[in-house]
Copies of this chain bind each other. A is one copy, B any other.
Amino acid sequence: MSNSMTRVASTAPARAKTRIQQENEARILQAALEVFSEKGFHGATLDRIAGAADMSKPNLLYYFKSKEEIHIALLTDLLDIWLAPLREISPQGSPATEIGSYIRRKLESSREFPRESRLFANEILAGAPHIAGFLQTELKQLVDEKAAILQSWIDDGQLAPCDPRHLLFAIWSTTQHYADFSVQVRHVLGLVPGDVSYYDEAARMLETLFLGRLVAPGTEG
């Protein structure tokens, strides 16, 4: 899971990690994801993370030399999960199949990685101090690339005229909403805390919205 090498100086030869190192780092990252995604960066404490990792605080700081370093490691790991569904959009397919499967992948990612989604949302809300570069370069570049595909479908008349990047924003916001605002969703629907049964209905809603037609034609006021 961890592709983060932030602790290793780039010039030093990367010493292979022992099994214990790998296990402990993984345990710390798991615990930190839990706490950071629930409390935010400033609301999380090393004490709590260490407790969740069943480890002493100094021992935790033996593996990561600061709270921020753990946070950055998590964010770094996150970006691949975040980008993966978008990368798969192909110019070969039709708008209906490509957009449809993109929404399904993104919604599935929301269901499978709600903590990662909330960690990401917290970071953006805080002004994206650690991933501003990623947003401006990698993400922007990928969005531009995929937006060009959508634009070609618009030019073909297969897709309604719109700014393709805003279409992506709409897909991101609606799918991530079910992870980031799950508490609100559950309260409004009258569900108990752990219940995520709303995802099936969410999938139907988003398919109607993005691939079908919501308001019947010829019924304007």
A residues neighboring B (CB under 8 Å): 38-43, 93-97, 99, 118, 121-122, 124-128, 132, 135-136, 139-140, 143, 157-163, 165-167, 169-170, 172-174, 176-178, 180-181, 183-185, 187-190, 198, 201-202, 204-206, 208-216, 219-221
Contacts and interface: CB of A to CB of B under 8 A. Distances in A.
Contacts of A209: 162, 167, 170, 209-210
A101 to B, nearest CB: 11
Nearest to A139: B188
A160 B212 contact: yes
A190 B41 CA distance: 27
A148 to B, nearest CB: 14
Given A219-B158, A220-B94, A124 B211 contact: no
Given A96-B215, A216-B159, A187 B125 contact: no
Q: Which of A40, A166, A170, A209 has the most chain B CB atoms closer than 10 A to its own CB? A: A166
Given A135-B183, A209-B209, A162 B124 contact: no
Contact of A95 (B96, B188, B215): B215
Contacts of A221: 93-94, 96-97
Given A162-B214, A215-B158, A126 B187 contact: no
